Amino acid sequence: MQLEDVQHVTVLGAGNMGHGIAEVAALAGYDVALRDIEDEFVQKGYDQIEWSLGKLAEKDRIGDAEADAALDRVEPFVDLEASLADADVVIEVVPEKMAIKKDVYDEVVEYAPEDAVFVTNTSSLSITELSEVTDRPERFCGMHFFNPPVRMDLVEVISGKHTSEDTLELIEGFAESMGKTPVRVRKDSPGFIVNRILVPLMNEAAWIVESGDATIETVDSTTKFDMGLPMGSFELADQVGIDVGYHVLDYMHEVLGEAYRPCPLLVEKVEAEELGKKTGSGFYDYENGGAQVPS
């Protein structure tokens, strides 16, 4: 498969990241099959793409006609077999649980065209382990997008033990064709590059508050307005999903050791299902105006 052969992209999972990745591919001119396990989930993802394209047009980042054309290129599916019929690249964006991802690949190998390339969007899981449940480990790699995909240029392209150089080059070219900047991660290690740095930063911010050294507002105001990061640490955790950060940390803790132990403040939020923007509240309340980081 060459880059010029790629026309159809199937995105499995219409959640927070899935719908954003589908939007990015559609904006780049690819025909996109967006699939989730229930009508309600696919519809929600589709509606979020429509909202986001409208927002981009409102802010003059794209034209109205471009927004309409991108939306027209997205076709929602629940039937897995039908969603994979024309796939050149399959991007799997299902929840960050190894067992769930493996179950999905068991089915995907049955229906995907023989020459399709498989990509998993994962924050930290082993690409090699996942690739080994498929019939094409050499045409399998990781592609880690950042939230929100339509605004974040960086994409980590992660090689598994069996990934071929041709596959990595194809997927790097594919990322560039969508206006992204691919960064190659040579080794399949927990957290790759960005999360290895960013998620401990969120955890450390939580430990500062947990130990009573400063408030959430002070930490966020310092990170955002004094350190010059685009968002406060807690604001960012709400943006990516506190559960997402927690799962990455938990995995890094298991594999890399004690330094990565998730702070109880994060655990409490996950247990209370206050996961950030996507549930309406996290460290901030989004039902009543969202994050208000004092400047």
Residues labelled as active-site residues? 123, 144, 156, 195
**Can you tell me the distance from the alpha carbon of 80 to that of 131, in angstroms, rounded to the nearest whole number?**
19
Distances (CA, A) of 135 to 3, 107, 132: 21, 11, 8
- What does the per-residue mask of binding to ligand 3HC show for 67-106, with x meaning CB under 6 A? ----------------------------------------
Which DSSP category does 181 fall into? E
Applying the rule CB under 6 A, the residues between 179 and 208 that interact with ligand 3HC are 195, 198
> Quick one: which of 3, 57, 71, 152 contacts ligand 3HC (CB under 6 A)?
152
Is residue 141 helix, strand or coil?
strand
Taking the complex as a whole, how short is the minimal distance between the CB of residue 186 and ligand 3HC, in angstroms?
19
Would you say 143 or 265 has its CB closer to ligand 3HC? 143
Asked whether 107 and 80 are in contact (CB, 8 A), the reply is yes
For the sheet containing 89-92, what is the strand order?
Answer: 74-77, 31-35, 8-12, 89-92, 117-120, 140-144, 154-159, 181-185
244 binds ligand 3HC (CB under 6 A): yes
77 vs 146 by CB, closer to ligand 3HC: 146
Q: By CB under 6 A, tell whether 150 contacts ligand 3HC.
A: yes
Q: Is residue 252 a contact residue for ligand 3HC (CB under 6 A)?
A: no
Tell me how far apart the alpha carbons of residues 210 and 201 are, in angstroms, rounded to a whole number.
14
Q: Is 63 in the site for ligand 3HC (CB under 6 A)?
A: no
CA distance to 41, 182, 210, per residue, from 140 (Å): 26, 16, 41
Part in contact with ligand 3HC (CB under 6 A); list of ranges 73-81, 109-117, 175-183, 238-246: 238-246
Element (H, E) at 31: strand 31-35
**Contact positions toward ligand 3HC, by CB under 6 A?**
20, 52, 55-56, 123, 146-148, 150-152, 195, 198, 230-231, 236, 240, 244-245
